[in-house]
Structure 1
């Protein structure tokens, strides 16, 4: 994660993800929401 996202800030408009752990958490949250929606 550190090598892949080093120096890249992800600005989504309502939140600014700067650290690798923030980006990983957002990725996991996205997958979780997608699975919940498709399961419903």
Structure 2
């Protein structure tokens, strides 16, 4: 739906999606690590 609305090409879409996904995963991992670190320090 989003791809059709913005008329993004297939390769561009995959590239964009992968970057977003990787960034989100990295952010989540960082957040989990940070939470785990603070929990273990208390």
Q: Which range, TM-score by smaller chain?
A: 0.5 to 0.7
Scaled by the length of structure 1, what TM-score is found? 0.54
Unpaired segments of 5 or more residues in structure 1? 1-6
Whose relative contact order is higher, 1 or 2, with alpha carbons under 8 Å and at least 6 apart? 1
Structure number with higher strand proportion: 1
Unpaired segments of 5 or more residues in structure 2? 35-42
4+ runs deviating over 4 angstroms:
none
Q: Give the number of the structure whose alpha-carbon radius of gyration is greater.
A: 2
Scaled by the length of structure 2, what TM-score is found? 0.52
Aligned residue pair count: 28
